[in-house]
Amino acid sequence: MRDDCQCIIMAKAPVLGHVKTRLTPCYSHTEALVWHKKMCCAVIAQVKALFKHTVLATDDVGHAFWQNFDLTLMDQGTGDLGQRLTHVVRQQSIAAWRPLLFIGTDSPHMPATRLLAAADALQDHDVVIGPVEDGGYNLIGMAMPISGLFLHTDWGTSNVCAQTIKRAEACSIAMLDMHYDIDTPEDLQRLLKSANPIIK
């Protein structure tokens, strides 16, 4: 189990009609909620097995669902994703700093080797990024706090990864192989048809 970095899982509380909304109308809001919970469980189980220092950063630390996982909980704060990521970095920098890895819950099929490669990369790079096919990323890490890395980003667009790389241009960056995350019904079907679907 790795103890040389801290993995932060960014996760929305499972609230009907507020999670995995891009799966509708092919799936009902209730079905989307079930998929969100399954994805959260898969990601949390994998990360806990790999990293000694794991924190769940969520928009509702009091939600009963999180009581199932015996994890340190952190409030993400408010604002867009960039503001919330920045808030978490600032909170972590107050304590004894460890290199940070951020992942979401949209890639329950992420290989353990990808997470471990990211942790390895932080030993000799300032930033590590795991790009996904839609132009974003499903993993990002930093060896030390980097001011402004997540701000003024066009979240939800195909520009996210490129903009982040631009903001980190003064840093040494390790890029992982291209991957994909689960946003749309097509993404979900791709996962379910794969050799190792992880969730069913």
The proportion of the chain whose per-residue pLDDT surpasses 90, expressed as a percent, equals 87
Q: How far apart are CA 77 and CA 144, in angstroms?
A: 21
Q: Is the pLDDT of residue 54 over 80?
A: yes
pLDDT for 195 equals: 72
What DSSP designation does 72 have? E
Question: For 20, which DSSP code?
Answer: S
Work out the percent of the chain whose per-residue pLDDT is above 70.
Answer: 99
- List the domains of the chain with CATH numbers: 2-192 (3.90.550.10)
Instruction: Express each pLDDT in 123-174 by its tens digit.
Output: 999 999 999 999 999 999 999 999 889 988 999 899 999 999 999 989 999 9
Spatial neighbors of 161 by CB under 8 A, at least 6 apart, are 129, 131, 132, 135, 136, 137
Question: Nearest Cα to 47, choosing from 121, 144, 133, 112?
Answer: 112
Q: What does the alpha-carbon distance between residue 127 and residue 165 come to, in Å, rounded to a whole number?
A: 9
pLDDT at 166: 93
Q: pLDDT tens, 74-92?
A: 999 999 999 999 999 998 8
